[in-house]
Structure 1
């Protein structure tokens, strides 16, 4: 099965996404730049709107941005590990839940930070709250900031972690190349356990429990897989039947598939019917 990397391709065939992806800053760099930018912006806003001078504006900005820094890091990890691998509908549902949670959490932490700031500056411990337009504006900021965190998570995931090599093959592919750091690593199709749709990408989990993204949609990936080994059990999940240990009913015509790497995935009614059709 011939494989050709981007370096071996003709100039017109080389994927521009690879070169652009290699120039992406690290997650830590994006995080640091974002926090520094927000701190600068909040300082300027508070200096203009509050009659407290630049030192007071900076301390108030810190009281707002420090809690945000912790929340942004925590919610990025949640998005990266638990939300982005899911189907588009599931992701939308999670965003509807997480956005207000993020906004309310930031609001509560800002109140605590401002209370501590007053205690340091004035020597008094007084807990205050926002009300009216100020409360609405604070919560709206929280939702917008959550959207920025989610946008960064999508951009970094799609641009950095997806396979950066084009697959050039005829017929069902047997292996392909993916990038790990500066190295190109071959992935044997037989080692794949599950493939999950993630927008225009597919997230692959191998028998060694390693995960990576490939720049193919789930439908495109399915067309290139050996049809006798792989089965689409859900709109967003393909499994390798070689790694199926057992399948059990899950109610309402669905089935739960237990795989050799310890994963358990649920087949839809259509997927369960397709699996039963494989029974000899």
Structure 2
């Protein structure tokens, strides 16, 4: 499922859950329930998107202690700002008049309940963000679909070939290995990613690895080979692993052996 579709379904689910809960718990009319659901959903969407951006951009792959401290601060900010915006919106939606609107803070018990709800919501958003980061770093599962093509070496000499041909139907198209950023393996298929696109080919990762130039390509994980010329940056990911940021925007998590292989190239 694409990210946008997932986000839209999540927002719709949150709005529906709040609306139904308000309707049943407070016995309000339909209009009041919808406005209450909207007031509760807007803070989650606004600050939830901010949290996801911060987690994916700045926290993934950082040391555990740093992540823990950052999450505590982010959680406090999320809970406080969400409560503040909620009471603002409730005053605007429910208590508005030609003279303005009245902001009524919750009573102590309601504040405690709302804080618990905000903390729980933050935990879910942070957990989903980390799962999304792991999914991006993990190899895509190759689907044996008609789009899959065969990879044919340009030559059969012992030297590592500089170019492959990919067979698409009856047509052969060149695939210059110098443009390959990464190769992900899944069963009998390999997903070859370049700066401009990707190809699913019927070649195992082990077969690819045997024909690549070890000076350029490194098998950093049992499921990933990367072109070291396209590693934009690398950062510790805990447990002796590295998180590689590639120049095509891809993120790949190495194994400990893969990280050691790259560290051996550090001068």
Q: Which residue of 1 aligns with 2:236?
A: 197
- Give TM-score scaled by structure 1 length: 0.61
Deviating 4+ runs (over 6 angstroms): 170-173
Once residues 103 and 141 of structure 1 are traced to their aligned partners in structure 2, the CA distance between those partners, rounded to angstroms, is: 8
Query: Residue 220 of structure 1: which of 243, 253, 257 is its match?
Result: 257
1:214 positional shift: 2.1
1:220 positional shift: 2.7
Secondary structure of the residue aligned to 1:70 is helix
Secondary structure of the residue aligned to 2:244 is strand
Equivalences, count: 197
Q: What does 1:63-212 correspond to in 2, within 5 Å?
A: 63-120=39-96, 125-164=101-140, 165-166=184-185, 168=206, 169=209, 174-175=216-217, 187-192=226-231, 194-198=233-237, 202-206=242-246, 208=247, 210-212=248-250
In the TM superposition, what whole-angstrom CA distance separates every residue of 1:74-98 from its partner, at most 9, and x where no partner exists? 1111111011131222111111111
Once residues 117 and 126 of structure 1 are traced to their aligned partners in structure 2, the CA distance between those partners, rounded to angstroms, is: 10
- Given the superposition, is the C-alpha separation of residues 122 and 50 from structure 1 closer, same or farther in structure 2, using an over 3 Å criterion? farther
Once residues 232 and 30 of structure 2 are traced to their aligned partners in structure 1, the CA distance between those partners, rounded to angstroms, is: 57
1:196 positional shift: 1.8
Q: Which ranges in structure 2 are unaligned for 5 or more consecutive residues?
A: 141-183, 186-204
- Given the superposition, is the C-alpha separation of residues 197 and 61 from structure 1 closer, same or farther in structure 2, using an over 3 Å criterion? same
In the TM superposition, what whole-angstrom CA distance separates every residue of 1:86-113 from its partner, at most 9, and x where no partner exists? 1222111111111111010100000110
Pick 1 or 2: higher relative contact order, CA cutoff 8 A, min separation 6. 1
Secondary structure of the residue aligned to 2:38 is helix
Q: Which ranges in structure 1 are unaligned for 5 or more consecutive residues?
A: 1-24, 179-184, 231-240, 242-280
1:172 positional shift: 6.5
Does the CA-based 8 Å contact 1:192-1:204 persist in structure 2? yes
User: RMSD between aligned alpha carbons?
Assistant: 3.0
Does the CA-based 8 Å contact 1:35-1:65 persist in structure 2? yes
